[in-house]
Structure 1
Amino acid sequence: MLRVIGAGFGRTGTMTLRTALCALGFGPCYHFTEVFAHPEHLRHWAAAAHGRPGAWRVPLEGYAATADWPGVTFWRELAEAYPRAKVILTTRDAGDWYESMRTTVFAAINGAFPETAERFRAFEAADQLADFREAGLIGRSFEGRIDDRDHVIGCYERHNEDVRRTVPAGRLLDFRVEQGWEPLCAFLGVPVPDRPFPRSNAREDFRATVLTDPPP
């Protein structure tokens, strides 16, 4: 059963959050990299993106937390289905976030990385991945288009404000990963570990993480 719901868009430190949650005992955590390790999940995510109620339950079985897409697409449904789960909204400066998206996720979608495009073509669930990408990531998160900076940033900012308005203050952590362990651990009610806070999936590492199994 989910204990933590990540409500922040990708490229806001979601892989870092995943790593931190697992280190704190809130794993396994479902991040987008999981769909590459479990391609059979994609038909359920695509079905959920097309409006099939609760289709996300199958891939999330056995997970304690979510971060990044595809889970963030359904943050509201998850929050309603798991009322005791805490919600973490990862954010960063909107302009910096857009530039990170433009040079990683959107670039990959637009075929800017030849080696990544080849991996996508060879992926066994490529059709279902494309279906979720169009209906879920682009369709639901960005109202169907990613070709305009102001539009994309507007979607990002509206999403963040929607989460803040919807989730009660005591259930929500508005979090920037540079804040480190202290606010995260205080929110989750666990001790601060005696180790550096993780930093994962920097922009320069993005291509190497696409279509590879998630870290343990």
Structure 2
Amino acid sequence: MALDIIGAGFGRTGTESMKRALEILGYGPCYHMYEVIPNKDRFEMWQGIYDGTVTPDWDAVFDGFRATVDWPAARYWRELAAHFPDTKILLTYRDAESWYASMEKTILTFLRDPEKTEGMAPRLRNTVFEGDVSDKDHVIAVYNRNVADVQSAFGPERLLTYQLGSGWEPLCRFLDVDIPEVPYPSGNESASFHQKDQELSKARKA
């Protein structure tokens, strides 16, 4: 099974809702950080990929999955798009200020924690954000640059820039599928983010 959809959007752009939406539409299972955190082998593999000590076999990494969104895979959208040339590219997006506000309550708390010297947090900090997660302007600039890079890399026949909150219509039109008779998913609010991370991390260590 090859990937059908590659998510190029940063975390906190509605990626968990998009994961669930794609699975409702039949593009599941969909890879997400939530598939990585509780799984020791995947967690260690992605650390090696980010460190450059593991050369990924993308077919094996995504074996059994039809789509991927969110980090850690989103950092590698260029490599994945080249390896899976027939895939659609999905850029989940929200206004940069809104995105940053959500990041501050969630992911940035991990990336800024000096005690987190292992795992995915320091790797996201050092690779995606170039080692600087304290400067708001820099963090937003990295986000905006990723959006611009993705949008300049693909034409409209392959890329959908999906605005958070847009519902089913643009996604289903892009994928040429019928709109489901269920509401577009919502979830992963900032208030529940940390609890879910703790539960998934405990599952990996059990």
So what's the TM-score if we normalise by structure 1?
A: 0.85
Check conservation: 2:93, 2:161, Cα contact below 8 A.
yes
Which consecutive unaligned segments of at least 5 residues does structure 1 have?
A: 121-126
Residue 74 of structure 1: how far off its partner (Å): 0.7
So what's the TM-score if we normalise by structure 2?
A: 0.89
1:210 matched to 2:197? The reply is yes
Give the aligned partner of residue 167 of structure 2.
180
Q: Distance in 2 between matches of 1:107 and 1:133?
A: 9
Pick aligned residue for 1:132 from 112, 116, 120: 120
Aligned length: 199
Check conservation: 1:48, 1:55, Cα contact below 8 A.
no
Residue 171 of structure 1: how far off its partner (Å): 0.2
Segment drifting more, 42-51 vs 140-149: 42-51
Q: Distance in 2 between matches of 1:99 and 1:171?
A: 30
Residue 48 of structure 1: how far off its partner (Å): 1.5
Residue 43 of structure 1: how far off its partner (Å): 2.1
Give the aligned partner of residue 99 of structure 2.
97
RMSD: 2.1
- SS of 2:165's partner is helix
Residue 134 of structure 1: how far off its partner (Å): 2.2
- SS of 2:33's partner is coil
Counterpart of 1:139 in structure 2: which amino acid? Answer: N
Q: Distance in 1 between matches of 2:59 and 2:39?
A: 14
Q: Residues 56, 43 of structure 1: CA spacing in aligned structure 2 closer, same or farther, 3 A cutoff?
A: farther
1:30-64 Cα shifts (integer Å, max 9, x gaps): 11111123121122212211234325554322111
Give the aligned partner of residue 29 of structure 2.
28
Q: Distance in 1 between matches of 2:45 and 2:56?
A: 9
Q: Distance in 1 between matches of 2:198 and 2:87?
A: 29
